[in-house]
Copies of this chain bind each other. A is one copy, B any other.
Amino acid sequence: MLSFDRKLDDLATLALRVGVNLQPGQRLLLLGPIEAADLMRRVATKAYDLGAPYVYALYLDEQISLIRAQHSAEDALDEFPEAHRDLIHTMVERGDAYLRIGGSDPDLMSPADPQRVATMVRSQRRVMRPVSDMVQRSHMPWSIVDYAVPAWAAKVFPELPAEQALERLWDAIFAACRVDAGDPIAAWERHLEQLSHASEALNGHAFSALHLRAPGTDLRVGLPETHVWESGGQHAACNGAHFVANLPTEEVFTAPHAQLVSGTVSASKPLSYQGQLIEGFSLTFQDGAVVDFAAERGEAVLKALLEIDEGARRLGELALVPHSSPISQTGLLFFNTLFDENAACHLALGRAYETTFKDGTSRPLEELIREGFNQSLTHVDFMFGSAALDIDGEKASGALVPVMRKGEWAL
């Protein structure tokens, strides 16, 4: 069995070589929580060893966001520093690789007023828009990998002592990222190839819609004529490098048509949104927009999310993950989108990815919008997949083709 030290080193290597695929001479912009200093330093070391001229390490402290949510004057919450945006934007625009180390307390913001948090989030998204545009358009290679911070581990394993909880969460991260058996680079080459089989099969069918059916869910998701199913990696516009934006990734995904979604979908897992939990919720769509919603817990948070802008009430992503995926098999609820989204089929409220439209990154956005692209300041995944999920693909002729049965591929 590999040591923790070796596995954390391998995770750093994986994030650089498979995640952002750092090239010699390319700078690295590295963001992560202060708790993740150990991984930040390993990544910085390996980035310099790979020939990065500079590693700009930016540490985040989510406690300071909570402090702001609780202590700032009301009228000052609608502010976010443009100078921070300019810093990040300058770096990603010139093609620096952008690696984000995640991992946070799922309940962080629960002591704060959801409306105040929503104001903070909205102003941040508004100011950071030019950066998120570059991310969505794959201008530069970017990737996210998670770090097991204690508050997150305590949430996933509430019954265990702190140290054991942390150890279990690390085991889950290492397993999901395939760094627990040596040579993660080779393991990821095999994995990415398997994922591409599914996306190629879906692209071959060129469905006009998918029908999702499960207890509490009966949703027809229209697809743009120019939709493309993506999986695993993408190519960065700035340097053509193949990068993998999420570590782990198990999904095959495309864009729903922003105007052609109708019916009801029920979430199969809680959603941790900006440090606040939304549980037991469902959304009803008509002509692409949410017209009704309900939640057993966090309904005010869900309401604030849907009110960010017009596009926050429409869909920007549909992703398929078999129920037998390794992360799903852990049986754990991670309260963390990067993990939970790769354990179950999911939809995203908010902005679509240009890469899920044919030649999407090289065509004007107005053209994509006419084809069904959803515009928004936000992009929030929520899970609806389960062992009870059936999906049919609808061809232009009206013929139905089984895509998933009982949560597994039926193609």
Show the binding face of A for B, using Cβ within 8 Å: 34, 37, 40-41, 44-45, 48-49, 51-57, 59-61, 63-64, 67-68, 71-73, 76, 79, 81-84, 86-87, 90-91
Contacts and interface: CB of A to CB of B under 8 A. Distances in A.
Given A54-B81, A55-B64, 19 more contacts: A34-B34, A34-B59, A41-B64, A44-B68, A44-B71, A53-B79, A54-B68, A54-B76, A55-B67, A56-B83, A56-B84, A57-B64, A59-B59, A81-B91, A82-B90, A83-B86, A83-B87, A86-B87, A86-B90
Interface of A is mostly: helix
By Cβ-Cβ distance, the 4 closest A-B pairs, closest first, are A48-B71, A59-B59, A53-B76, A83-B90
Contacts of A82: 90
Nearest to A72: B48
Contacts of A51: 73
B54 A79 contact: yes
A166 B87 CA distance: 36
Number of copies: 2
Nearest to A80: B54
A56 B65 CA distance: 10
A37 B61 contact: yes
A73 B90 contact: no
Given A79-B54, A86-B86, A91-B83, A45 B73 contact: no
Contacts of A83: 56, 86-87, 90-91
A61 B32 CA distance: 12
B57 A44 contact: no
A363 B58 CA distance: 38
A152 B79 CA distance: 37
Contacts of A91: 81, 83
Contacts of A73: 48, 51, 53
B71 A45 contact: yes
Contact of A41 (B40, B67, B87): B67
A284 to B, nearest CB: 39
Contacts of A86: 83, 86-87, 90
Nearest to A66: B41
Contacts of A87: 83-84, 86-87
A52 B48 CA distance: 38
A103 B53 CA distance: 27
A64 B55 CA distance: 9
A60 B56 CA distance: 11
A36 B132 CA distance: 31
A37 B66 CA distance: 14
A37 B63 contact: yes
A393 B284 CA distance: 85
A71 B49 contact: yes
